[in-house]
Amino acid sequence: MKKIFSVFLSLVIVMLCFCGCSKSIGKTDLNRRKIIVAIGIDVEGDIYKLTVRSYDPTMKLADSADSGGESKTIIYHIEGETIAKAISNIMLQTGDEPAYVQNNIIIIGKEVAQRGIDKVIDFFVREKRTRYSTMIALSNDKASDIIECDFMGNSMPQKELEELINSGALSGEVEKMNILLVAKYMSEPTTDVVLPMLEAFSDGENKNVRIAGTGIFKECKLVGHFDIDETRGMLIFSDKFNSGSISLDVDGVKITANIKKTSSKIKTEIKDGRVIFEVKTDVKCEIDEIERNFNMAVDEGEVEKIKKEVAEKIYASIKGAFDKSTVEYQSDALRLGKRLQFQNKEFFRNHYEDFSSVLSNAKLDLRVNVELNKIDAKGMIN
């Protein structure tokens, strides 16, 4: 399967070089097309059940929910024995041909993910109308729950979903994934996919969506998930962490530290047939808030305690992500095989076909160094 996706990925890259907006689609054509902006994919038995949010180009902005009128998007429920059949069945409901050019996001339901996402990705890679930058995320239950959420009457809920994931990526809560990146990971010899996981919840009378962690896959099947802390560890380990806040309790004082930058250097070593990942992580952070009198300075002793607390939290996040992916699930969610392939080519060549055994026996040798800007008596950062 990974070899097949390697071939597809090469074709996709070539296609991207020539893709552009077609000028042949006029106003009349658009009116006959169902502009899809979000797709949720669930399964029951042998039938795929899709929840599709579609934009109606004939609906004027003045009639939208922004002005108290009808929403600019419409929900369709379609089904079929394959994803392709289900998508094509939208024509039976509307008489319009589906168009993906404005599709913002694809949500995969938990049941679909547990059975395997290879068929889902295969469809969207093959589908010539797909935008390969389209985001992909996972629902912790049904995909329909996520797609149907209207974010308190927002006229374009799919944009809210997109922004939720973008914000989560910027704050170190999730890794943003799209069709091309998932296909790339699937094409690598040992790499397993991870997907941002979303959760629908009720906030009083309103329904909303939040980030619930990261789905962990093994050979394209969902096997578990990282929580928010473990996701942060995964991102720091992989040098994909942007920034984010961390809550501390130092001698009963609540402190919020803002992690501004992280850098992880990873070396691999083989000892007695066991792979050891030697990781040195550097963290730069600032103090955002200390819950005590404003004019109280942070002395050197407190600075060292805060640094120690930050280091312990980061260590626990990285170790948690490493242990869960390697020991518990034997999943290469951290792309350890890719690192091993570059640094220990012969060992990788001899063991990649049974990489689960390599992962379950792998060891993490981790050091975390923290650099902290402190706050003086005037509240200024030194």
Q: In order of start, what are the domains of the chain with their CATH numbers?
A: 2-226 (no CATH), 240-373 (3.30.300.210)
**Higher pLDDT, residue 167 or 2:** 167
Question: How confident is the model at residue 7, as a pLDDT?
Answer: 53
Which class for 43: exposed (0-12), middle (13-18), buried (19 or more C-beta within 10 A)?
Answer: buried
Q: How far apart are CA 1 and CA 116, in angstroms?
A: 12
Q: Give residue-wise pLDDT tens across range 286-302.
A: 988 888 765 556 778 88
3-state helix vs strand vs coil in the chain, percent to 5: 40, 35, 30
User: In which element (H, E) is residue 262 found?
Assistant: strand 253-271
- Distance of alpha carbon 271 from alpha carbon 269, whole angstroms: 6
CA distance 217 to 190: 12
Number of other residues whose CB lies within 10 A of the CB of residue 73? 24
What is residue 20's predicted lDDT score, i.e. its pLDDT? 42
| Phi, psi angles (nearest 5°) of residue 361 | -105, 0
Q: Which two tokens mark 373? A: 């800007």
Picking from 86-95, 136-145, 232-241, 356-365, which range would have the lowest pLDDT averaged per residue?
86-95
Mean pLDDT of the chain: 85
Residues 195-209 have a mean pLDDT of 89
Q: How many C-beta atoms lie closer than 10 Å to residue 122's C-beta?
A: 18
**Residues 317, 229 contacting (CB under 8 angstroms):** yes
168-192 per-position pLDDT tens digit: 999 999 999 999 999 999 999 999 9
CA distances from 351 to 4, 33, 174, 336, 341 (A): 21, 50, 30, 13, 10
**pLDDT value at 143 more than 90:** yes
CB atoms < 10 A from the CB of 371, how many?
Answer: 13
Tokens in use for 259? 């992690």
Q: Under a CB-based contact definition with an 8 Å cutoff, are residues 363 and 274 in contact?
A: yes
**How far apart (Å, rounded) are the C-alpha atoms in residues 9 and 277?**
29
How many whole angstroms separate alpha carbon 257 and alpha carbon 244?
A: 8
Residue 233 predicted with pLDDT over 50: yes
Nearest-angstrom CA–CA distance, 246 and 16: 39
